[in-house]
Amino acid sequence: MTECTQYAYAKLNLTLDVLNKRPDGYHDLRSIMQQISLHDTICLRLEEDSTWKLTCSDALLPVDSKNLAWKAAEVFCEAADVSIPGLSIHVQKVIPSQAGMAGGSADAAAVLMGLNRMLDFPLSSRQLLLAAQRIGSDVPFCLFGGTAFAQSRGEVLSRLPRLPHCSIVIVKPSVSISTPALFHLIDSFQIDVRPDHDALIRAMERDDVETVAKYMHNVFEPLAQRDHPEIGLIKQQMLSLGACGAQMTGSGSAVFGIWREEEDALCAMRTLQERYEDVFIAYPIENQ
């Protein structure tokens, strides 16, 4: 196989708790992560010549080794001990950048999976997960997919019951938040409320979307809202448009709301589109 197309699905954090800072500079975290249908598309092609080329539909993103899709191809070659002389990667972006939705990490995971498929599976699932860790903290989840509980840096993953059927509306405000800066800031911030992951998991087991939404919590949100009140405003608008719950994902700045009925979510999406440029609708991706 010399060509392959992979979808790269976005993630949302239903819960996110940041624990201690570790000696390696990263933080231990706990998070219930959900893969959603909003996706980029990655086209990979093995070329006859001996150069690597990356193209991207978003002119603002890097097209060299600074792009995680490129880095993933490098890490794949090392991990599988193969050389790929000529390679072209095209990244068709849909997932907003600097949103807390793991857009770059999803692209990287899709490159790992695509190259593994094209080269007839030199890496086992476990080896792929180890390669993913070397690229970024969210890349292992993007490979794992579905609904999962993430611990440690984000790479220790366990399967959870599926999120009850629902529709998700996402707004990406124009403000961008630096992930390292937010992690740094939280070190000197008193976290008063932490998520109750177990209560949310029990609600998923009961297929109770309202209670799932009620237990969503992200410890970064109060910090991000302090500097960017727009985040709180979007959340309030989603709740007044009938969302069962709404919150910022990851280190932001995207905010998502959950609706039980698709019709209500579509109606809310249309209202939000009158106020914001980047508004999306998505659905949970089920465990594979």
Residues with active-site annotation? 11, 138
Work out how close the CB of 153 gets to ligand C5P at its nearest, in angstroms, rounded to a whole number: 4
Work out how close the CB of 231 gets to ligand C5P at its nearest, in angstroms, rounded to a whole number: 19
CA 66 to chain centroid, in Å, comes to: 18
Q: Are strands 3-21 and 217-218 parallel, antiparallel or unpaired?
A: parallel
8 Å CB contact between 243 and 169? yes
Work out how close the CB of 111 gets to ligand C5P at its nearest, in angstroms, rounded to a whole number: 16
Identity of the residue, 27 or 172, whose beta carbon is nearer to ligand C5P in the bound complex: 27
Identity of the residue, 25 or 198, whose beta carbon is nearer to ligand C5P in the bound complex: 25
C-alpha to C-alpha distances, 109 to 134, 136, 275, 279, nearest whole angstrom: 11, 10, 33, 24
Identity of the residue, 184 or 275, whose beta carbon is nearer to ligand C5P in the bound complex: 184
Identity of the residue, 92 or 98, whose beta carbon is nearer to ligand C5P in the bound complex: 98
Give dist(CA 42, CA 218) in Å, integer: 30
8 Å CB contact between 101 and 32? no
Work out how close the CB of 136 gets to ligand C5P at its nearest, in angstroms, rounded to a whole number: 4
8 Å CB contact between 237 and 243? no
Identity of the residue, 103 or 136, whose beta carbon is nearer to ligand C5P in the bound complex: 136
Contact residues for ligand C5P, defined by CB under 6 A: 26-27, 29, 136-138, 153-154, 179-180, 183
8 Å CB contact between 257 and 239? yes
Terminal Cα-to-Cα distance of the chain (whole angstroms): 24
Count CA atoms within 13 Å of residue 288 on its CB side: 7
User: For residue 213, what is the DSSP state?
Assistant: H
Of 170, 174, 218, nearest to 193 (Cα)? 218
